[in-house]
Amino acid sequence: MLDLKWLLDNTDAVKTALKHRNSDLSLDGILELNNRRKTLQQEFDNLRAVQNQKSKEIATLQKDKKDAKAVIDEMQSVAKRVKEIGPEQTEVEEKLRQILLTLPNIPQASVPVGADEHANVVVREWGGKPEFTFTPREHWDLGEKLGLLDFERGAKIAGARFTLYRGALAKLERALSHFMLDVHTREHGYEEILPPYLVNADSALGTGQLPKFEDDLFKTTTGYYLIPTAEVPVTNIYRGETLLVTDLPKHMCAHTPCFRSEAGSAGKDTRGLIRQHQFNKVELVKIVRPENSEAELEALTLDAEKILQLLGLSYRTIVLCTGDMGFGSAKTYDIEVWLPGQNAYREISSCSNFEAFQARRMNTRFKDEAGKMQFVHTLNGSGLAVGRTLVAILENYQKADGSISVPEVLRGFMGMAEITPIKSVG
């Protein structure tokens, strides 16, 4: 959420930012409501002054034993209007808040301006793409030929965009999760969190999933939401709290299942594991001082990249342009891993600095050394999406006979160096 005072003082900058974000939202409603709010406040202040004045008049008349009825009647009329203004002010404030909740964050000055993904900028690349003496297969073909990815039975059990992992691929998914958590906790200093997989509406509102993205969430009959990412419960740990400056920074990581309805994605990635309703992810979350958040984003992104380097997977890191950024982000790096079967780079992590956008929605502050209250800055990123990392291993480590070499760093977790086809999927 944007700060209303800052928005009113910088309306031209906000209008430009909305344009760069391809947003057709207007500030007219905010300006009208703010004027109405000021008018009501001025009327309230004036009426309170009248009440004070009339109270003195009544006291003087009664002291002098004079008739005060006319003044008392006038006071009752004023008091009635004062009582009416309160609900009107509350209604205006709520309407203002609801509009502010729909406004996206303001991109940082370093973010490239552009309409869509074609304006994204590659900032670095790592690793050489593997070369094959055969035409590399796509991961769904590999998984089915191994007898270890069962899309048909996954769909039978739950529906489209659900998959059943079997045997060594189920073990590979588990090994990847353990490996990522170990690297982030032991080498990068993150605190491991095991959060709830269901959240309430306040938590979804705090990180920006509500109200804008409600259609992308799975909602229970009791009003809870299945988490679309561990970002939601982990960032909300400190919702409504005031931290001490000595509490910061907070670096946390969590491995959770994630649930997304994929509203609006009909026809996209209908095959394979790239776009599922349920998947696992290791999430990195940071809560930091405002002056440190830019450097913290760079470090978080490198932490996510380190996983790919240790796995020997080629990737590139791009900074998203204004038209391709997420709703709440002030700056985002996407990490895209090379998939030889698809002959394309595909997103495997998105690392974002939200600045105070989420903190203002959550009312999460800290008290600095001078005792001044400030909103914290929040950041998060995938470190990594586990299923997509498994996809990358299948496609990059495939062999001509359809077997898969296990990356060196995972062999201790897996207890094997190679994944071979099983004889039966019965």
Q: Indicate if the alpha-carbon torsion angle 357, 359, 361, 365 is positive or negative.
A: negative
Distance CA 85, CA 167 (A): 67
Q: Which is catalytic among the residues 350, 352, 355, 360?
A: 350
Residue 351 sits at φ, ψ, to 5 deg, of: -115, 120
Question: Coil, strand, or helix at residue 351?
Answer: strand
Q: Which is catalytic among the residues 347, 403, 405, 411?
A: 347
Distance CA 411, CA 119 (A): 40
Distance CA 92, CA 262 (A): 34
350 catalytic residue (yes or no)? yes
Q: Which is catalytic among the residues 21, 260, 360, 365?
A: 260
- Helix, strand, coil shares of the chain, percent, nearest 5, are 45, 20, 35
Host H or E run for residue 172: helix 167-182
Distance CA 306, CA 183 (A): 9
Q: Which is catalytic among the residues 275, 289, 316, 411?
A: 275
Host H or E run for residue 38: helix 28-63
Distance CA 141, CA 179 (A): 26
The 365-367 sheet, strands edge to edge:
242-244, 365-367, 373-375
Q: Which is catalytic among the residues 21, 293, 388, 395?
A: 388
Distance CA 36, CA 89 (A): 9
347 catalytic residue (yes or no)? yes
Annotate 320-349 with b (16+ C-beta within 10 A) or e (fewer): bbbbbbebbbbbbbbbbbbbbbbeebbebb
411 catalytic residue (yes or no)? no
Q: Which residues are catalytic?
A: 260, 275, 347, 350, 388
